[in-house]
Amino acid sequence: MRHLKRTAKLGRTGEHRNAMLANLVCSLIRHKRVTTTLAKARAARSVAEKMVTLGKGGTLHDRRRAAARLHQEDVVSILFNEIAPTQKERRGGYTRIVKLGQRQGDAAQQAILEWVDVPYVAPAAEATDEGEKVKGKDKDKSEAAAK
């Protein structure tokens, strides 16, 4: 019986689940916001909040524990240098889950997992490669016509 066993299995083995949650938390740290299923967001929330608690400690041991869990040194430095200082005054509840609608393909409940006190900055609109290619093709045609 699984009485009082609250780990969300998510249909994966333990190693796969830990790797997936580590990648999800790394994406959350790097991009400040992540869209995923509600079940994965709830499972990743506990990992993310534990990592922020380690970041608030700031010791070398805490940094090594975070690196052992997340497996990405650059993300650990972002966590300790940017995210943990903004959460210094909070006593918990570093993340929020915002429910979205259902996914089209399998009707899974979608959710956004994001930091509470860290401002989200949307990525800048970059020039599309297709637009540059079209301009390049027109340029080639005009050069050929000029010759």
How does pLDDT run along the chain (147 residues), one tens digit per residue?
A: 989 888 899 999 999 999 999 999 999 999 999 999 999 999 999 999 999 999 999 999 999 999 999 999 999 999 999 999 999 999 999 999 999 999 999 999 999 999 998 777 887 776 555 555 545 555 555 555 555
| 6 assigned to some structural domain | no
How many residues are recorded in the chain?
147
Specify the pLDDT at position 48: 97
Specify the pLDDT at position 138: 53
| 63 assigned to some structural domain | yes
| 131 assigned to some structural domain | yes
Query: Which DSSP helix (H) or strand (E) runs through 34?
Result: strand 33-37
| 4 assigned to some structural domain | no
The answer to whether 32 and 118 have CB atoms below 8 angstroms apart is yes
| 5 assigned to some structural domain | no
| 8 assigned to some structural domain | no
Q: What residue numbers bound the domain in which 88 lies?
A: 14-146
Query: Closest Cα to residue 96, out of 36, 45, 43, 39?
Result: 45
What residues have CB less than 8 Å from 18, skipping those under 6 apart?
none
The answer to whether 23 and 97 have CB atoms below 8 angstroms apart is no
| 2 assigned to some structural domain | no
Structural domain count, the chain: 1
Specify the pLDDT at position 73: 96
Stated pTM of the model: 0.80
Specify the pLDDT at position 146: 56
21: CATH = 3.90.1030.10
Query: Closest Cα to residue 16, out of 52, 43, 46?
Result: 43
Specify the pLDDT at position 2: 85
The answer to whether 107 and 38 have CB atoms below 8 angstroms apart is no
Specify the pLDDT at position 129: 59
Measured between alpha carbons, how far is residue 136 from residues 130, 144, 146 in Å? 10, 12, 15
| 99 assigned to some structural domain | yes
Specify the pLDDT at position 126: 63
